[in-house]
């Protein structure tokens, strides 16, 4: 891919939704975000549901079963230019299956931007986001400053799946996606011109 074609191509964004609990609220938040982000027209979205792609808890890639599961996820992470994580807050942190999915990978995260959409009770999932920021710093990824958070999330959506007060999440979402897009294009160009070596 040439420099010009790289800069003009849509940004490939993998959206990972991380809750795996029965009766999870994650699909409501994720479906809203996918509809909202799709309005931009400059993003190519790929939804990866951690619940639909459970990876083994033992990090042993020589296991044929693990290899088959990774084949459904790893190439999509590798192809992504940027990531958005939709996460709840469980016990002041994020879901364990998400950490497992992150730990199975390394180079796929490097020199790429990461954004967050969180939800929960009074904290809106922000404690989960702050912990994820520390992890992605270790993985040489760039987390963008702004995020989207839904406090008391189950009260923030109507029966149609749309936010009852859309101005707030849409404003936050625009800010986050603007930053993600800038970093995504900038880092993609950088990786094309000079491969990243950690």
CATH of the domain at 106: 3.40.50.360
d(C-alpha 70, C-alpha 96), whole Å: 17
In a domain, 197, yes or no: no
In a domain, 179, yes or no: yes
In a domain, 99, yes or no: yes
In a domain, 198, yes or no: no
Give the pLDDT score at 90: 92
Give the pLDDT score at 6: 62
The predicted-structure confidence for 55-94, as pLDDT tens digits, reads as follows: 887 766 677 778 888 999 999 999 999 999 999 999 999 9
C-beta of residue 108 within 8 angstroms of C-beta of residue 77: yes
In a domain, 144, yes or no: yes
pLDDT band at 12 (very low <50, low <70, confident <90, very high): very high
Query: Considering the entire predicted model, what is its pTM?
Result: 0.93
Give the pLDDT score at 55: 87
- How many structural domains are present in the chain? 1
C-beta of residue 112 within 8 angstroms of C-beta of residue 187: yes
C-beta atoms surrounding 46 within 10 Å: 15
Residue 46 is inside which H or E element, if any?
A: strand 43-49
In a domain, 133, yes or no: yes
Q: What mean pLDDT do residues 31-38 have?
A: 98
Range of the domain at 167: 3-192
Q: What mean pLDDT do residues 103-126 have?
A: 96
In a domain, 77, yes or no: yes
């Amino acid at each position: 891919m040439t420099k010009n074609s790289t800069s003009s191509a849509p940004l490939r964004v993998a959206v990972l939704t991380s809750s795996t609990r029965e009766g999870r609220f994650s699909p409501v938040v994720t479906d809203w975000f996918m509809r909202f982000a799709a309005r931009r027209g400059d993003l190519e979205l790929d939804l990866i549901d951690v619940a639909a792609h459970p990876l083994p808890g033992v990090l042993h890639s020589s296991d044929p079963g693990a290899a088959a599961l990774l084949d459904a996820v790893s190439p999509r992470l590798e192809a992504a230019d940027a990531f958005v994580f939709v996460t709840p807050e469980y016990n002041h942190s994020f879901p364990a299956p998400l950490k497992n999915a992150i730990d199975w990978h390394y180079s796929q995260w490097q020199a790429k931007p990461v954004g967050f959409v969180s939800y929960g009770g009074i904290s809106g999932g922000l404690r989960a986001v702050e912990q994820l920021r520390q992890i992605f710093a270790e993985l040489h990824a760039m987390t963008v400053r702004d995020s989207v958070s839904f406090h008391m999330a189950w009260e923030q959506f109507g029966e149609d799946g749309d936010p009852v007060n859309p101005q707030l999440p849409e404003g936050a979402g625009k800010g986050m996606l603007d930053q993600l897009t800038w970093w995504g294009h900038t880092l993609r160009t950088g990786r094309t011109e000079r491969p990243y070596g950690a």
